[in-house]
Structure formats: structure tokens, C-alpha cells
Amino acid sequence: MKLIDSDKVAALIREVAAEEVMPRFRNLAAHEISEKTKGDPVTDADLAAERRLTAGLAGLLPGSLVVGEEAVHADPKVLERLNGEAPVWLIDPVDGTKNFTEGSELFCVMVALVRGGETIGAWTYAPVADEMAMAELGGGASLNGAALCTDAALKDAAAMRGAVHTKYLDAPVRAQVEQTMGGFASNEQLYCSGLTYVRLATGALDHAVYWRANPWDHAMGALIVSEAGGRTAYFDGAVYVPDAGGKHGLISVRHKAAWPLVRDTLFPEGVPA
């Protein structure tokens, strides 16, 4: 049974982005930016948007819970809500916050709906471009209403365009990846996971690799890519699910049949322990 009207969620996200995020874009005062940890900024836009989305989403689905990125930073126990039976909204109020603080247009607002440990709805909105990517489990994915679907053509590794993020990889894994990632045609890092997943779903990229698997960074995009014909899984092959378990290492591909090729190109002798 469908829990929520996807268009109502999209409308709420657009409203919050227009009223809380965009007025602060390229207009942040110094006191409106702080750091959660060194190099990890948070802004008044993040905080205000998360408050608005938390209230609005809970109102759209009575009995639901909310897990927001900034709420988890304030109280890590909030993440445990994902382990319960109630439907849970995941919120990343400004994905690509560092880009946002630097005036780059590469940021987005993301929401997912999780039930029973499975992502059943996803919304990724790029306010500057006014592009809304949406997906429903078993119902397909779309970008501004146009269906997203992987084409049938598979590529050789040497022709694949990737977004391999090495910054947070464990040292042995990073050393391996830095030696093998040249086996692909190109590497592009947007520093915005939401927009990276959208580029996978539209075909602008063929694969992406991440170490950190925070649910607010990946639940939305993983469903959008999956519903478009792709696959997101941990390095060991286990399909990605949003949980509080703390697993690391993700490979996402726009064409699900390409997943083994990407992993074997990066790790020809297996993932380093």
C-alpha cells in the first residue's frame, strides 16, 4: 500500500528550498557558517531547512519518525530510529554543504522514506537547476517527470566515466584504488553525492565509489539509480540498505550488469583487508 503522495513531498521540498536555502545561497554571513568537525561545514541553511522538513514530513505521514543529518550530529542515538518498525524520513537538508558555502551550484536537498529497513521513496532536488529526481520502490524513477531508464549498452571499463571518491578510503584500500582507477576513461568528483547519483541515473556517469555510507547521503540516490536500472552495493556485494550498522565501501553503477566489472577493475586481487 502506498504510504504517501510523492508530489506532496516534492512540493514541500521545493517550498523549503525556496524559502530557507536559496535566500542564503551566495549570501551567507560568516556567523552563519560553522564546522561540525574540521572541514565539515554546517550553515544556517542546513539547520533551518532540516527543521522545516522535519515538521512538514512528519505532518504528511502521521506516526512516522525523522532522521536528519544535523539531528544525528547533535544526538547520534537518533540514527537508531532506522532499526524500528515505524516509517522513517531521512533528510539531508543541504547535500554538498561545502560547495554551497563556496557559491557552487552543485548542491541539493534530499529526502527518503524508509520502511522496514528498505527505502521505498526518494526525492533529490537541485534548486538552482530546478531539477527534481524522484523514485518509488517498484514504481520507477524520473527527473522532472521524465522517466529515467538505463540503456541496454554495456561498456568496457576503459570507456566508463566514474566518480571514484578516495578521500575517506581506508589507507590500504585507497592505495589499491589509486593504482587501478586509471583503468576507467575519466574520474569526476562533484562533492555532492545526491547529484552524483542523479548523473548516474541519467547516464552522465557510469559508476561511483564511496567509503562512507551515511544513510542520508546514499539512501535517496541508491533507490533512484536502482529504479533506473542500476545497482548500489557494498564492496562485498551485499546490496546497500540504509541502516545504523556502520558498514563502509559502496560501488554504484548506472547499469546493474556492470557492477562486477567496476569492482574487479578496482580490486583485481580482491578488496584489501
How high is the pLDDT of residue 175?
92
* Amino acid making up residue 162: G
Condensed to tens digits (0 to 9), the pLDDT of residues 80-120 reads: 999 889 999 999 999 999 999 999 999 999 999 999 999 99
Residues paired with 210 in a beta bridge: 250
Residue 198 domain boundaries:
157-266
Q: Are 19 and 144 found together in one domain? A: yes
Q: Are 121 and 171 found together in one domain? A: no
Does residue 258 belong to any structural domain of this protein? yes
Task: Supply the mean pLDDT for the chain.
Answer: 94
Where is mean pLDDT largest: 18-22, 168-172, 188-192? Answer: 18-22
Does residue 271 belong to any structural domain of this protein? no
Please report, for residues 171, 173, 188, the alpha-carbon distance to residue 248 in angstroms, rounded to integers and kept in the order given: 13, 11, 21
With residues binned 3-state (H G I as helix, E B as strand, rest as coil), the percentages for the chain, rounded to 5, are 40, 25, 35
Q: Are 99 and 205 found together in one domain? A: no
Burial track 27-51 (b if 16+ CB lie within 10 A, e otherwise)? ebeeebbeeeeeeebbbbbbbbbbb
Q: How many residues can be counted in the chain?
A: 273
Q: Tell me: pLDDT of 77 over 80.
A: yes
Q: Are 167 and 142 found together in one domain? A: no
Q: Which CATH number is 223's domain given?
A: 3.40.190.80
Condensed to tens digits (0 to 9), the pLDDT of residues 39-75 reads: 889 999 999 999 999 999 999 999 999 999 999 999 9
- Predicted model pTM: 0.96
Does residue 199 belong to any structural domain of this protein? yes
Q: Are 144 and 161 found together in one domain? A: no
**Spatial CB neighbours of 94, under 8 Å, sequence gap ≥ 6:** 21, 43, 45, 46, 49, 100, 107, 108, 109
Q: Are 127 and 226 found together in one domain? A: no
Neighbours of 238 (CB within 10 A): 9
Q: Are 196 and 74 found together in one domain? A: no
Q: Are 120 and 161 found together in one domain? A: no
Q: Are 162 and 143 found together in one domain? A: no
How high is the pLDDT of residue 244?
63
Q: Where is the domain boundary, 129, 148, 167?
A: 148
Of 105-114, 158-167, 242-251, 257-266, where does mean pLDDT reach its minimum?
242-251
Does residue 85 belong to any structural domain of this protein? yes
State the angle between helix axes of 44-60 and 6-16 in degrees (0 to 180), rounded to the nearest 10: 150
Q: Tell me: pLDDT of 1 over 60.
A: no
CA-wise closest residue to 157 among 251, 271, 272:
251
| Domain total of the chain | 2
Cα separation, 94 vs 36, in Å, equals: 14
Does residue 273 belong to any structural domain of this protein? no
C-alpha cell at 159: 570507456
Q: Are 183 and 258 found together in one domain? A: yes
Q: Are 125 and 29 found together in one domain? A: yes
Q: Which CATH number is 37's domain given?
A: 3.30.540.10
Q: Are 169 and 118 found together in one domain? A: no
Does residue 272 belong to any structural domain of this protein? no
Please report, for residues 62, 99, 109, the alpha-carbon distance to residue 18 in angstroms, rounded to integers and kept in the order given: 25, 18, 11
